[in-house]
Copies of this chain bind each other. A is one copy, B any other.
Amino acid sequence: MIGYSRRAALAAAALILCPGGLAYAASGQDIALKGNGQGAMACSACHGKLGEGNQEVPRLAGLNAGYIVHQLVSFASGARQNDVMGPIAKALSDTDRQAVASYFAGLNPPEAKTGGAAKPDLIAAGAVLAQRGEWTKGVPACDQCHGPAGSGVGSAFPRLTGQNASYITNQLLSWQKGDRHNDPLGLMKGVATKLDKTQIESVAAYYASLPLSGKATPAIATPFRTEAAKPVSTPAAFTPPPESAIPNNEFGKMVRLGEAIFTDTQHYAPGFVGNSLQCANCHIDRGRLANASPLWAAYVVYPAYRSKNKHVNTFEERLQGCFRFSMNGKAPPAGDKVLVALQTYAYFLAKGAPTGVSLPGRGYPRLKKPAKLDYAHGQEVYASHCAVCHGAEGQGQFSAQGDTVFPPLWGAHSYNWGAGMHSISTAAAFIKANMPLGEAGTLSDQDSWDVATYIDSHDRPQDPRFNGSVSETRKKYHNSAMSMYGQKVNGVVLGENSPPSGTVPAPH
């Protein structure tokens, strides 16, 4: 085995820098096809020559290399328990793991035959869970982390597209049972615990059924019967109608267009968006979830006077404000189809809600202001609880096709200095009630305040009302301890060097 390993290392001629000095390492392909000669058998024995997997073992081809490495580390440490993979992972050096991971990450073999086709009903039910989640139980849509059609996002959220069904099922059951616990923030443990067996099988069948092209499938086209969303911790007085209640007529088409704009604002409201956000990033469960600024609660309290612009705003003008500030874009003109569609969608969600009544679940529940806002502690909270999704630099994460999966929280692609979320109190309230996604309420009030302080102490696109002077603009629009605009942070006055507002920056 040693001889083979050396030959492989020489053949690969890969010069790797190791802590102890220079050494030749086995190529990823060699390890995959022949083993590392140090006790790790060939991966291909089980996973197939191209990592295509089969009915029992997972497809490795196309998985993120960092994700594969993390799994091998977990198998070795026992964080992920598997009698076969444990010893193999232990026998692989760090260098071996990186090499073999990179090898499989770069492959894209055709679909393996992983068993008979699942029943269409099962797949359809899985599609709902994958694309909508089940927010009545606090379960986010799988795609909210794993990307459109489970295409995979970064090293923490593996590709699910075309993964074999029995493997997905087994992993979800392992998280439920506690056999596997190498997931970031315990997110998968949390999700799996809330699912029943049928749901697990259905979502597994759905992802297994997806073509490996990697292209996102269109949004759910046929109206599934889904339960309307209710918050887990704070029951709302109001439940919006299920998606299945959208009628199949011209009105229903407008509702669906509004929903499409709301969830994929980039593509459905082109020209009006100047960052990488979607409406649904801050309005969880497509504007349905209480305490996540649900559309139904907002719709019924307009027209209303807003101190922000000091006059009575219709709901339409309120939407225009979202585009101008939160979306860092341009307000669609009054009467524009984008606004009509969003109004119609909100109206549909508000069916039966009393006009002019502030409903429980409206906005984000305000938090009592703490004695102190701690930037440094916020930075720690961010690193431990937020960075895995939103990126170490708040830059967000995107699918391979460029779709926003995790929104950028600062920088040129995020909300601008005029958006409500730039206020620390608003951000803290949102975070406490909704973050981390699917694990809402796990952060303390102080953690929420501090991480909001940290996030909102970073630069972002200029306030569109900027008049050339940061100090004057602060005085006029930001005269509050809750706004960091115009304040000095890490030696820089925020707002002085902000990217311009309302312009679409270069893609990520």
CB neighbours (8 Å) of A314 from chain B are: 316, 335, 340, 343-344
A347 at the interface (CB under 8 A from B): yes
The CA-CA distance from A333 to B336 in the complex, in Å, is 12
* A351 and B356 in contact, given A334-B335, A335-B316 (Cβ under 8 angstroms): yes
* A340 and B305 in contact, given A347-B356, A352-B356 (Cβ under 8 angstroms): no
Q: Which of A310-364 contact B (CB under 8 A)?
A: 310-312, 314, 316-317, 333-335, 340, 343-344, 347-348, 350-357
Which of A30-38, A247-255, A285-293, A473-481 makes up part of the contact surface?
A247-255
CB neighbours (8 Å) of A312 from chain B are: 250-251, 254, 340, 344
The CA-CA distance from A201 to B452 in the complex, in Å, is 65
The CA-CA distance from A76 to B353 in the complex, in Å, is 62
A441 to chain B, nearest CB (A): 29
A167 at the interface (CB under 8 A from B): no
This chain's copy number in the assembly: 2
The CA-CA distance from A311 to B249 in the complex, in Å, is 11
CB neighbours (8 Å) of A135 from chain B are: none
Which of A124-132, A296-304, A380-388 makes up part of the contact surface?
A296-304
CB neighbours (8 Å) of A334 from chain B are: 316, 333-335
Whose C-beta in chain B lies nearest to the C-beta of A310?
B250
* A350 and B344 in contact, given A250-B305, A334-B335 (Cβ under 8 angstroms): no
A352 touches B357 (CB 8 A): yes
CB neighbours (8 Å) of A303 from chain B are: 251, 254, 340, 343-344, 347
CB neighbours (8 Å) of A344 from chain B are: 303, 312, 314
The CA-CA distance from A353 to B357 in the complex, in Å, is 9
B351 touches A357 (CB 8 A): yes
A399 to chain B, nearest CB (A): 32
Whose C-beta in chain B lies nearest to the C-beta of A352?
B354
Whose C-beta in chain B lies nearest to the C-beta of A304?
B251
A175 to chain B, nearest CB (A): 40
Whose C-beta in chain B lies nearest to the C-beta of A241?
B356
CB neighbours (8 Å) of A310 from chain B are: 250
A324 to chain B, nearest CB (A): 14
The CA-CA distance from A352 to B354 in the complex, in Å, is 5
CB neighbours (8 Å) of A249 from chain B are: 305
CB neighbours (8 Å) of A351 from chain B are: 354-357
The CA-CA distance from A317 to B334 in the complex, in Å, is 11
CB neighbours (8 Å) of A300 from chain B are: 355
* A355 and B357 in contact, given A304-B251, A305-B250, A344-B303 (Cβ under 8 angstroms): no
The CA-CA distance from A335 to B302 in the complex, in Å, is 14
The CA-CA distance from A352 to B356 in the complex, in Å, is 6
CB neighbours (8 Å) of A333 from chain B are: 334-335
A302 touches B250 (CB 8 A): no
CB neighbours (8 Å) of A250 from chain B are: 305, 310-312
Q: Which of A267-303 contact B (CB under 8 A)?
A: 299-300, 302-303
Whose C-beta in chain B lies nearest to the C-beta of A345?
B303
A299 touches B340 (CB 8 A): no
B299 touches A317 (CB 8 A): no
A350 touches B340 (CB 8 A): no
The CA-CA distance from A357 to B300 in the complex, in Å, is 13
CB neighbours (8 Å) of A355 from chain B are: 299-300, 347, 350-355
A314 to chain B, nearest CB (A): 6
The CA-CA distance from A392 to B334 in the complex, in Å, is 44
A43 to chain B, nearest CB (A): 56
CB neighbours (8 Å) of A299 from chain B are: 355
Whose C-beta in chain B lies nearest to the C-beta of A303?
B344
CB neighbours (8 Å) of A304 from chain B are: 251
CB neighbours (8 Å) of A311 from chain B are: 250
- Interface residue from B254, B317, B354 paired with A354 (Cβ < 8 Å): B354
Going nearest first, the 7 A-B pairs with the smallest beta carbon separation are A334-B335, A334-B334, A351-B356, A254-B312, A350-B355, A303-B344, A250-B305
Interface pairs (19), CB distance under 8 Å: A250-B311, A251-B303, A251-B305, A254-B303, A302-B347, A303-B340, A303-B343, A303-B344, A303-B347, A314-B344, A317-B335, A333-B335, A351-B354, A351-B355, A351-B357, A352-B354, A352-B355, A352-B356, A354-B355
Contacts A250-B311, A314-B335, A351-B356 aside, 5 further interface pairs with beta carbons under 8 A come to A251-B304, A316-B316, A316-B335, A317-B335, A350-B355
